């Protein structure tokens, strides 16, 4: 009887990294593709949220580190397991939040498994997951828009200055 992708992912996560890599290489393309949404298999250590009770998680890194994907996966995990979650997604502009955090290659719509994909209502700046959790898009350029709504979680992306151009993700 063939393994389901969740069982396969759990088995692979029980292996040491070198053995896991070897098993992944032996799998068919279809088997590997079925594991695409099992983030813990693919994330590098800097993309995992801190362990324990934390208030802020800052990833300040250069291009290609995986900040957007790490943030999207964190938001997805909150939304899938907490139906009462109300999440604020904040970026420099609403357009940036939509094009990067929601609709981008590593955005919330792209990383979600088909049966857990949130419904996006662009006119309302709102994502709603099948669980009932919601995320609202906000622009940092309009800080007053964050007054009033109550949020249980927030994730912000934005550019940071410095010697090299870097960007950050704060969840």
Instruction: Write the pLDDT tens digit of every residue in 11-63.
Output: 888 888 889 889 888 988 888 888 888 888 888 889 999 888 888 898 988 88
- For residue 145, give both structure tokens: 């828009």
Note the CATH number of domain 48-170. Answer: 3.40.50.300
What's the pTM?
0.85
Taking the C-alpha atoms of residue 59 and residue 157, their distance in angstroms, rounded to an integer, is 10
Q: Which helix (H) or strand (E) holds 91?
A: strand 86-91
| Residue spans per domain, the chain | 5-42, 48-170
- The β-bridge partners of 158 are 168
**Cβ neighbours, 10 Å, residue 53:** 5
Tell me how far CA of residue 36 lies from CA of 3, 8, 22, 158, 168, in angstroms.
Answer: 15, 12, 17, 26, 24
Q: Which residues pair with 91 in a beta bridge?
A: 139
What proportions of the chain, in percent to the nearest 5, are helix, strand and coil? 40, 20, 40
Confidence of residue 166 (pLDDT cuts 50, 70, 90): low
Query: What digits encode the pLDDT tens for the residues 90-130?
Result: 999 999 999 999 999 999 999 999 889 999 999 999 999 99
């Amino acid at each position: 009887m063939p393994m389901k992708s969740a069982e396969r992912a759990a088995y692979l996560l029980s292996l040491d990294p070198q053995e896991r890599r070897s098993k992944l290489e032996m799998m068919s393309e279809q088997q590997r593709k079925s594991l695409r949404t099992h983030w813990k298999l693919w994330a590098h250590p800097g993309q995992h949220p801190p362990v324990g009770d934390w208030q802020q998680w800052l990833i300040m890194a250069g291009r290609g580190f995986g900040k957007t994907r790490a943030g999207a996966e964190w938001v997805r995990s909150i939304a899938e397991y907490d139906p009462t979650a109300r999440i604020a997604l904040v970026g420099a502009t609403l357009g940036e939040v939509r094009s990067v955090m929601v609709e981008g290659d590593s955005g919330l719509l792209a990383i979600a498994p088909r049966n857990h994909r949130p419904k996006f209502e662009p006119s309302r700046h709102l994502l709603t997951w099948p669980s009932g959790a919601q995320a609202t898009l906000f622009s940092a350029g309009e800080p007053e828009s964050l007054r009033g709504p109550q949020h249980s979680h927030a994730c912000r992306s934005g550019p940071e200055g410095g010697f090299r151009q870097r960007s950050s993700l704060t969840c």
